[in-house]
């Protein structure tokens, strides 16, 4: 079966712009989580969505937001981009994020802010 699909794979944006990243989870998985990976901070949790609702949120500013659709696909949005937002953004899907929590990751979106 298909794995987790993230689009686009690469993005270059200018400071002040906004960006939207997409994640399609494994079929049947209802929980989608987003992580940011930078050389300085490592892998950090952004937020989790389940049944179209944000269920958990990490310690990131309000410029980072997300949503989930009825087919479990998720998008994250970053507004007013800053240079420090340059990172690899990874999406993980799990069956339900609570009873069955084995996480499967997509290939990531590498965002560069110039």
Partner 1 sequence: GIQVEQSPPDLILQEGANSTLRCNFSDSVNNLQWFHQNPWGQLINLFYIPSGTKQNGRLSATTVATERYSLLYISSSQTTDSGVYFCAADTDKLIFGTGTRLQVFP
- SS3 string, 31-84, reads EEEEEEEECCCEEEEEEEEECCEEEEECCCCCCEEEEECCCCCEEEEECCCCHH
- Does residue 23 interact with partner 1 by CB under 8 A? no
For partner 1, what does the binding mask look like between residues 71 and 90, x meaning CB under 8 A?
-----------------x-x
| From candidates 71, 77, 101, 112, binder to partner 1 by CB under 8 A | 101
Please state the closest distance from residue 70 (CB atom) to partner 1, in A: 23
- Does residue 60 interact with partner 1 by CB under 8 A? no
| From candidates 45, 60, 67, 86, binder to partner 1 by CB under 8 A | 45
Do residues 24 and 17 make contact, with C-beta atoms less than 8 angstroms apart?
no
Number of other CB atoms surrounding residue 20 within 10 Å: 15
Q: Total number of residues binding partner 1 (CB under 8 A)?
A: 24
- The β-bridge relationship of strands 19-24 and 10-13 is unpaired
- Could you list the residues that contact partner 1 (CB under 8 A)? 33, 35, 37, 42-45, 48, 56, 58, 88, 90, 92, 97-98, 101-108, 110
């Amino acid at each position: 079966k298909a794995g987790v699909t993230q689009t686009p794979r690469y993005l270059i944006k200018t400071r002040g712009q906004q960006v939207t990243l997409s994640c399609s989870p494994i079929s049947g998985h209802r929980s989608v989580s987003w992580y940011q990976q930078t050389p300085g901070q490592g892998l950090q949790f952004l937020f989790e969505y389940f049944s179209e609702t944000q269920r958990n949120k990490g310690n990131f500013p309000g410029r980072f937001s997300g949503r989930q659709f009825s087919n479990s696909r998720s998008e994250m949005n970053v507004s007013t981009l800053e240079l420090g937002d340059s990172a690899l953004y990874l999406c993980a899907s799990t069956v339900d994020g609570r009873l069955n929590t084995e996480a499967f990751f997509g290939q990531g979106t590498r965002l560069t802010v110039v």
